[in-house]
Amino acid sequence: MPEHSRTHQAELQILGSGGPMHGGGRGSAAYLLRLEGMPPLVVDMGGDTPHALARVGVRPGEVGTLLISHLHPDHVSGFPDYFWGELTAGRSRALQLIAPPAGNGFPDIKTFWQRLFGPDGAYSCMSTLVSNPSFPINFLTAFARDEPVALDEALTVSTHSVEHGQAPTQAFRIDGIGFSIVFAGDQVMRDPAFVRFADGADMMVAHLIANRRIAGKPLADVVALPEDIGRTANLANIQHLVLSHLMEAPSDESGGDLWSLAALEDAVSDIRQHYSNKISVAEDLATFSIGR
């Protein structure tokens, strides 16, 4: 088949659509990108993500690339469980691991790895992952803004630094033949440069962590207002917006009414005032086709 007529068959599966506190029983926000004829790609690895991967039929050794948006616990606490399983299953396939640089007290991914699995690490029983790994591990720190990394001759991952409090945080864009998807990650959604980064994507996964009640509160300096998600998706010409990282507190005490699941219909309505294309609210294990 001629190169120009090939098309990647791409599907997004929601491994988890929640966040800390796991409101509504939702798993930590994490995503699986299935690409026909290629190893699957995973974004983030929360504590329950290894279980979700098993539930959707991803076997040990299959994941080819793991993207880590930032090092908050709900995005990386599944590392020991996941890699213990890879070792137990005798993984041999190489793994590419892409994550943000160090900053503000957060380590880079290789230092984080060594603190977990080194001889003096938290999980020293897994120290072969550092001293003599049984499968190749390519650590890539996402220093450059928007610079693409080729996963094959027709599939690239680009990274873009976004604002999420003190934690160095990356958004990701994956472009293939016939599709493009942006994982916006945890961020405030007020950066014109991010609009340019996401421009024209078929799909964007945006984290609707809170509702409009955070306006003027410190939380609005860390996560996005619904209206800013809508404006960004509109300016970037996104075709399909998937809302995830939905949160809920056990009660309204101590600001529980600020989270997205406390007023989900209102939050989606606030987005809809600025964005008229397709919107989906993520649920754990839901799947979406991307592009053509």
CA–CA gap between residue 211 and residue 58 (Å, rounded): 34
Task: Encode pLDDT of 45-69 as tens digits.
Answer: 999 999 999 999 999 999 999 999 9
pTM: 0.95
pLDDT number for residue 1: 33
Does residue 154 surpass a pLDDT of 60? Answer: yes
Measure the CA angle with vertex 200, ends 3 and 205; round to 5°. 105
**Mean pLDDT for all residues in the chain:** 94
Q: pLDDT tens for residues 240-265? A: 999 999 999 987 766 689 999 999 99
- Asked if 106 and 206 count as a contact pair (C-beta separation under 8 A), the reply is no
CA distance 278 to 267: 15
Segment 88-99 mean pLDDT: 96
Q: Please, which pLDDT band fits residue 237 given cuts at 50, 70 and 90? A: very high
pLDDT at 217: 95
- pLDDT (average), residues 154-177: 95
CA pair distance 116, 67, nearest whole angstrom = 18
Question: What percent of the chain lies above the pLDDT cut of 90?
Answer: 88
Task: Report whether pLDDT(3) > 60.
Answer: no
Q: What is the dotted CATH code of the domain comprising 8-281?
A: 3.60.15.10
136 burial via Cβ count (<10 Å: 0-12, 13-18, 19+): exposed
In the predicted model, what is the mean pLDDT of residues 122-147?
89
pLDDT band at 148 (very low <50, low <70, confident <90, very high): confident
What φ, ψ does residue 284 adopt, rounded to 5°? -55, 130
Least confident of 121-135, 136-150, 209-223: 136-150
Structure confidence at residue 73 (pLDDT): 98
Task: Kindly state the average pLDDT of the residues 191-199.
Answer: 97
pLDDT of residue 4: 42
Tell me what percent of the residues of the chain surpass a pLDDT of 70.
Answer: 95
Alpha-carbon dihedral sign for residues 162, 164, 168, 170: negative
Over residues 104-113, the pLDDT tens digits come to: 999 999 999 9
The reported pLDDT for the residue numbered 2 is 39
